[in-house]
Chains A and B, each alone.
Chain A
Amino acid sequence: MLTVTANRSTSERYRARLACVVGLLTLAMLCGCGAKMEETTTSTPPVEMPMDTSMMLPDTSMADTTMHDGHTGSDPEDPPPPPMSAPPDEITQFPWPPPEPTLRYSIPRQLIARDSTESSGRVVDRITTALNRAGIDMWSIHAIGSKGFAVIGRMEHIKDNGTPDDPRFSLGAQRNRKFDLGAYLKALIFATPGRYRVIVIAITPEVIRQYGKSPTAAQLETLLHEGASDLPDPMRGHAIGRIRPEALIYEFHRRDAHSEPVLVNSNRTTLSAVDHLAGAGIWSKDQLVGERNP
């Protein structure tokens, strides 16, 4: 319903008064915003990546280890790394008993070694070739005592079915250049969780009787970087003997893109060890399940 006022001069006076009030307030607020923005810029501390204080290795024997040349991320202000204390013919020891994994799987021996007289060098080559074939292009080797060794692969980003997700080796979120409304709405409402895994292939005559403390993702990353790229020559020549090849699978989950991955307990994972190994592409399900020793 509209009504018309007869007094034009009164309405003009009201409009002028309103314009003055709005103009003055706008000016005052813009000055205030400018000051606030300046304060925000100067007082905001630099963004720091969360530092996991539990990155110290559980096994103190790991403290004096040889640094693998793949180590990255050193800060120029950090103290220099400790001198290499391991003799050239030795490689770092894998923590034993091993850190408690999410899942463990006894790998069929035929997939690892043809017989007990085969050299450790041939066995490690076979494992690293399988890892490379699966696209796990970064791994490192640690000794287990004097007769065994462990190959640790880099952390993979995985889908719910155990196959690699995109990006495979990054904790960062996937970047889509093409706008997808469905993906946008999903990202608007939901956090971006992530599922990750690290596979350790342990070749040792020893029986795993107990586990150490559950590892953090950072600890496994440290192990990856501190391991060697090959077995020392004397160790390569040793006959592998009677071994128990085990796959230790460490599955991690993080609830959103800004939280640290947390190890998944075996009763919380929806995947089997075979799903993980086959999903990674290291061996097929038929090889893992079918090629059992009599």
Chain B
Amino acid sequence: MEKTYPLQMCQWRLAVIWLLGSCVLFILMAFQVAGGKYGNEDQKAWGWLLPQVLPILSMIGGAIVYQMNRSDENIVVTSFAYRATWVVSLIYLLLVLTTVALVPIAEQEQGIKPIDFLPKMGPVLTGLSAIASSILAAFFVSSKPKA
């Protein structure tokens, strides 16, 4: 017997994960910018971070707003879809956080400028971002009216 969850609850939980993760990243980068970590290249640092989280945050926000207008419908999603989306979201956000956290280590060990290190994880993050987006999309596709 397949477990299902109410779509609205799942959307809010995912939104909370993404909002919390994004807040941590934004606050960390704000401290780094204030501390002069990126020198005169603050704009490049923000330009790296924003595309990592904003598209998916926008998608989740749009989905929640759309669903709020249809709150009378009792829609559920499968537990597999929800868990998969949750895990991939968490892995993705942790990977973005790890990239920022590795900056001082790369700087000390390899002498790489902080702003030059961030794009080095680009291929991995781009790939995982696309996977996270597709899984989130699939998550919403998997929703169906309650039987």
Which residues of chain A have a CB within 8 Å of any CB of chain B?
A: 1-8, 10-12, 14-15, 17-18, 21-22, 25-26, 29-30, 32-33, 36-37, 40, 172-173, 175-176, 184, 187-192, 255-259
Contacts and interface: CB of A to CB of B under 8 A. Distances in A.
Contacts of B141: 17-18, 21
Contacts of B104: 184, 187-188
A229 to B, nearest CB: 32
Nearest to A191: B36
A29 B80 contact: no
Nearest to A7: B147
A69 B111 CA distance: 29
Is the contact region of chain A dominated by helix, strand, or loop, or is it mixed? helix
A37 B32 contact: no
Nearest to B3: A2
Contact of A32 (B5, B28, B37, B127): B127
Nearest to B32: A189
16 contacts: A11-B2, A11-B4, A15-B80, A18-B84, A25-B130, A32-B130, A33-B124, A37-B123, A175-B108, A189-B31, A191-B37, A192-B107, A255-B39, A256-B37, A258-B39, A258-B113
Contacts of B113: 258
B90 to A, nearest CB: 16
A33 B126 contact: yes
A4 B123 contact: no
Interface residues on B, range: 35 or more
Nearest to A174: B108
Given A187-B107, A191-B39, A5 B138 contact: no
B64 interface: no
Given A5-B4, A5-B76, A6-B147, A188 B101 contact: yes
Contact of B134 (A22, A32, A176, A256): A22
Contacts of B146: 3, 5
B127 A3 contact: no
A29 B131 contact: yes
Contacts of B32: 188-189
Given A30-B127, A188-B104, A4 B3 contact: yes
Given A3-B4, A36-B123, A14 B35 contact: no
Contacts of B142: 14, 17-18
